[in-house]
Amino acid sequence: MKTVSEAPRIWVTTILFAATALVALVLVPLYGIVHGFQWQAWAAFAVYGALCGLSITAGYHRLWSHRTYEAHWSLRWLFALFGAASLQNSILVWSSGHRRHHRHVDDNDHDPYSAKRGFWFSHIGWMLRDYPSGKVDFDNAKDLQRDKIVMFQHNHYLAITLTMNIGLPLLLGIWSGDIIGMMLLAGVLRIVVNHHTTFFINSLAHIWGRRPYTDENTARDNDLLAFFTFGEGYHNYHHIFQTDYRNGIRWYQWDPTKWLIKTASWVGLARNLKTVPAMRIQRAMLDMQFKRAEQKLQQSSHRDGWRKLLEQEAQQFSAALGEWKELQSRRYENARERLLAKWESAAIRTRVKELEYSLKMQRKRLAIMMDQFHQSPAPAA
């Protein structure tokens, strides 16, 4: 692999990122101090920025990269136009690279923006030089190459980008009577904010946060990042369950992208929303708890007594998973052959819910046990 100094510089992206950052840091505050910005410019910055951000999260990411749902052609056109306005490349290039990231996450030779190569590289450095790991290859995007909207945007990307990033802010500036102010806020500052909030998922979301579902990769859940990225900050969940249209699965978790997709399904603009069964989610969380409990137990002076209880919990966990798999097989057989009576099908669903609840309670018991490893001997079985 070529080092930073050996990889050829990509001057287009280098100049683009440097110029927009310089304008955002210098000219935007200077113009604000000298002339001030109209409310229309700030409103355009917020609305335009939200449309661009959601076009990346709901469109480029969850629709095209992961196929977590299907969208009406009108919604796909909206995402294609405002996704191009985000200046993050075409749907085809973006999604193909993101699929490689998921397949080879943390592999420095194949992950385009591997976090193991450092914060700067995963945040923006990977786009500034022509690294072998970032080579464009559409072999993993044959489905996208059959999508007419995706290919139209890809083939006319430059024209669409110029129209959305210069033409539209210019028209808004003429309407508001302040062309320069509108271009600075709805044009440049909006681009810079959209860029770095997205880039933080590639960098910070692989460095800072929790790993409740898996520690097999560097992805983290981070509530603060979720707030600024329309729900993309629940990245540990996403990397283990990438086919789920949700990233924040709890009702209280901030995931506007999930809410947009769900709302679109209510009005007929989205369908076939994919979700991961609750039992699989509980299983992933319990796997992590057992792993951490075993690690913590090694440091406990009362490890022998607690180990017996931990083994009992593990046996209960294994039995619950075995029963759940059996119930799932019966449910699928019923769907195929339609031989099972309705009451038995309802009984299966009820039992699955009971198993999900039992694993939830087991997670709570394990959390309590881990708190007591160093405090007291294990209670008698």
Q: Tens-digit pLDDT profile for the chain (381 aa)?
A: 444 457 899 999 999 999 999 999 999 999 999 999 999 999 999 999 999 999 999 999 999 999 999 999 999 999 999 999 999 999 999 999 999 999 999 999 999 999 999 999 999 999 999 999 999 999 999 999 999 999 999 999 999 999 999 999 999 999 999 999 999 999 999 999 999 999 999 999 999 999 999 999 999 999 999 999 999 999 999 999 999 999 999 999 999 999 999 999 999 999 999 999 887 888 888 778 777 766 666 665 555 555 555 556 556 666 666 655 666 666 655 555 554 455 455 665 676 666 666 666 766 666 666 666 555 555 555
Contacts for 91 with CB less than 8 Å, ≥ 6 apart: 59, 60, 64, 80, 83, 144, 150, 153, 154
State the Cα–Cα distance between residues 158 and 89, nearest whole angstrom.
9
State the Cα–Cα distance between residues 27 and 19, nearest whole angstrom.
11
Confidence at residue 278, expressed as pLDDT on a 0 to 100 scale: 83
Residue 270, classed as helix, strand or coil, is strand
Confidence at residue 163, expressed as pLDDT on a 0 to 100 scale: 96
CB-facing half-sphere around the CA of 86: CA atoms within 13 A: 30
State the Cα–Cα distance between residues 192 and 25, nearest whole angstrom.
10
Confidence at residue 279, expressed as pLDDT on a 0 to 100 scale: 78
Confidence at residue 297, expressed as pLDDT on a 0 to 100 scale: 61
Q: Which of 276, 232, 241 is nearest to 59 (CA)?
A: 232
Confidence at residue 283, expressed as pLDDT on a 0 to 100 scale: 81
Residue 9, classed as helix, strand or coil, is strand
Length, in residues, of the chain: 381
Confidence at residue 3, expressed as pLDDT on a 0 to 100 scale: 47
CA-to-CA dists, residue 83 to 11, 90, 147, angstroms: 22, 8, 16
State the Cα–Cα distance between residues 176 and 38, nearest whole angstrom.
8
Structure tokens at 292: 């951490």
Confidence at residue 343, expressed as pLDDT on a 0 to 100 scale: 45
Confidence at residue 339, expressed as pLDDT on a 0 to 100 scale: 45
Could you please report the per-residue DSSP string of 326-361? HHHHHHHHHHHH--S-HHHHHHHHHHHHHHHHHHHH
Q: Which of 12, 28, 6 is nearest to 190 (CA)?
A: 28
Could you please report the per-residue DSSP string of 49-85? HHHHHHIIIIIIIIIIIT--SEE-HHHHHHHHHHHHH
Structure tokens at 110: 């194949």
State the Cα–Cα distance between residues 352 and 320, nearest whole angstrom.
10
Confidence at residue 1, expressed as pLDDT on a 0 to 100 scale: 45
Q: What are phi and psi of 71, to 5 degrees?
A: -125, 150
Max CA distance (Å), the chain: 78
Q: What's at 219, amino acid-wise?
A: A
Q: Which of 95, 84, 195 is nearest to 137 (CA)?
A: 95
